[in-house]
Amino acid sequence: MNRTIHILSVHYENPFWIDIQLKQLKKHLKVPYKTYMAHANMPEDLKDYSNDFDVVISDPRKKFHNTDGHKLLLPHIKENLKPNDIVVKLDSDAFFIKDVDESLFDSVDEYGFLSIHEPRHELDLNYKTPHPVFYAFKGEYLSDGLDVQLCTIRVENSNWWGSVNGWIRSKNIDWFALERSNETNLHPIYFAIYGDLIYHNWAGSRLMRTREDRRRAAKEGISLDEVIRQNHQLNESVLKELDTDVDEFIKVLKTK
């Protein structure tokens, strides 16, 4: 049976990641796929991506949340879904770093729901939650209430995606976690590889301030502003490397 991956991404303010995502999708997707992209608060001279994605939606709102992008895109995905298709949600600054073939369908068939696990993002380091950097799930879930939860903000353990987490628990889904797999860590959270499948830059479109940064500031007795300054300085270097050669940068992270 010919199966399709429906890939959803929402971009806000920073167009840098759109081209990288596209490049990596074209390079690594070895099975049929469709792409759905929403963006908001972008520069006026943003490139026209209508020929690069199956669905592109530009939203004029300045105040725009990930769930707003889901509300815009999920109806289009549901229109195109066929039996046994799967859906992938990628954060704006996340992309595939190795080939995606039938094995992803097999994993979703087995577990139902795949996501990354990043304990250092949490207040409680022992709290396990699927992070919306990357979701891969059975398309049929969208007709079983997951579509509503993806469009709903519910704070749980200080995270906005509590509705999705609650839905997974209510369905007794033993989701599969992609763990951080870097050999070299430039930062405890940022610039991460998960399951040797997904790269996530973290904070690609916002201030580089996480709970881990607050922990560092307190531990080292330096100001949070100084930690943020150092993070953004490091990020500028990373962006230059990604813009030059994605594969070489990923190779560095995968090598001791």
Structure confidence at residue 244 (pLDDT): 96
pLDDT of 169 higher than 70: yes
Q: What is the dihedral of CA 173, 154, 123, 116, to 10 degrees?
A: 40
Q: How many domains does the structure of the chain reveal?
A: 1
pLDDT of 256 higher than 90: no
Q: What mean pLDDT is predicted for residues 8-12?
A: 97
Q: What mean pLDDT is predicted for residues 109-129?
A: 88
81: nearest Cα among 171, 24, 146: 146
Relative to beta strand 94-96, strand 113-117 is unpaired
User: What letter represents residue 151's amino acid?
Assistant: C
The confidence band for 156, taking pLDDT boundaries of 50, 70 and 90, is: confident
Q: What mean pLDDT is predicted for residues 5-27?
A: 96
Q: What mean pLDDT is predicted for residues 161-178?
A: 95
Give one word for 253, left, alpha or beta, with left for phi > 0 and alpha for psi -120 to 50. alpha
Could you read off the pLDDT of 102-118 as tens digits, one per residue?
A: 999 999 999 999 999 99
- What's the rounded Cα separation, in Å, for the pair 112 and 105? 10
The first and second tokens of residue 19, run together, are 């081209």
Q: What mean pLDDT is predicted for residues 34-41?
A: 97
Structure confidence at residue 160 (pLDDT): 87
Structure confidence at residue 126 (pLDDT): 78
Q: What mean pLDDT is predicted for residues 19-25?
A: 97
Integer-rounded Cα Rg, in Å, for the chain is 18
Structure confidence at residue 1 (pLDDT): 63
Q: Is residue 190 within 8 Å of 235, Cβ to Cβ?
A: yes
Q: Which residues form the domain of 189? A: 5-253
Q: Is residue 130 within 8 Å of 121, Cβ to Cβ?
A: no
Write the CATH number for 206: 3.90.550
pLDDT of 124 higher than 80: no
Return the higher-pLDDT residue of 121 and 142.
142
Q: Return mean pLDDT, the chain.
A: 95
pLDDT of 123 higher than 80: no
Which three-class secondary structure string do you get for the chain? CCCCEEEEEEEECCCHHHHHHHHHHHHHECCCEEEEEEEECCCCCCCCCCCCCCEEEEECCCCCCHHHHHHHHHHHHHHHCCCCCEEEEECCCEEECCCECHHHHHHHHHHCEEEEECHHHCCCCCCCCCEEEEEEEEHHHHHCCHHHHHCCCECECCECEHHHHHHHHHCCCCCEEEEECCCCCCCCCCCEEECCCEEECCCCCCCCCCHHHHHHHHHHCCCHHHHHHHHHHHHHHHHHHHHHCHHHHHHHHCCC
Could you read off the pLDDT of 193-237 as tens digits, one per residue?
A: 999 999 999 988 788 999 999 999 999 999 999 999 999 999 999
